[in-house]
A and B are shown apart, each in its own frame.
Chain A
């Protein structure tokens, strides 16, 4: 199984500052035949289901603010929020959909400093 490890487990950032969350997979999720990374990022606010933010590691889902961006390839990925807003307080999860089981990271809780 591919193990997804996020860092940090929790993060406190001031409003307007940059927030960075990392995700590392135990094996590459880059499919060489199409050069795509099978990696997604989700946001989950308390009491709500997860919401897809980013897929193919760096493609923003429709309607997601452009302050959210994804980067990385192979085994190392990053979710960046360029200027933190109060509405961004949530837990964030990465997920690989390269091969089953389609595992999630343990989550990163983002708070306001």
Chain B
């Protein structure tokens, strides 16, 4: 059974940093691209970033480029999102999702339960 478990969310002051983790199990982690999608309270889904199965290729939304870094450790079956210089508008539930293949160009077949990041003083 595919399982994705996010952690690392919490309350952080504006300008602070957080690193989110997504522990994956139930599949060959390195064979699949992985993504982060966020959802601000009461709002729709916003695509954030994606990383290829091998970790050698990444892509970011313009709203987070240069601020967030996606990475993965295939030996630990874990996906990461390093978030720096956080702003109030980064407040959201952050979901990790597994794509249906190793490249970016597939649907998001599995999702974690999400972790809440709140940026506030």
Considering the chains assembled together, what is the distance between the CA atoms of A110 and B47 in angstroms? 22
B111 close to A101 (CB less than 8 A): no
Q: Which residues from chain B contact A91 at a C-beta distance below 8 Å? A: 44
- The residue in chain B whose Cβ has the minimal distance to the Cβ of A41 is B107
A93 close to B44 (CB less than 8 A): yes
Q: Which residues from chain A contact B109 at a C-beta distance below 8 Å? A: 52, 55, 61
Out of A1, A44, A49, A95, name the residue touching B107 (CB < 8 Å): A95
Out of A50, A55, A56, name the residue touching B45 (CB < 8 Å): A50
Q: Is B50 an interface residue (CB 8 A)?
A: yes
Q: How large is the interface on B (under 10, 10 to 19, 20 to 34, 35 or more residues)?
A: 20 to 34
Q: Which residues from chain A contact B112 at a C-beta distance below 8 Å? A: 49
Out of B46, B100, B111, name the residue touching A55 (CB < 8 Å): B100
Q: How large is the interface on A (under 10, 10 to 19, 20 to 34, 35 or more residues)?
A: 20 to 34
Given contacts A49-B111, A51-B111, A95-B47, 7 further A-B contacts (CB under 8 A): A1-B62, A52-B107, A52-B108, A55-B106, A56-B107, A95-B107, A100-B104
Considering the chains assembled together, what is the distance between the CA atoms of A103 and B104 in angstroms? 12
Q: Which of B42-83 contact A (CB under 8 A)?
A: 44-47, 50, 59-62
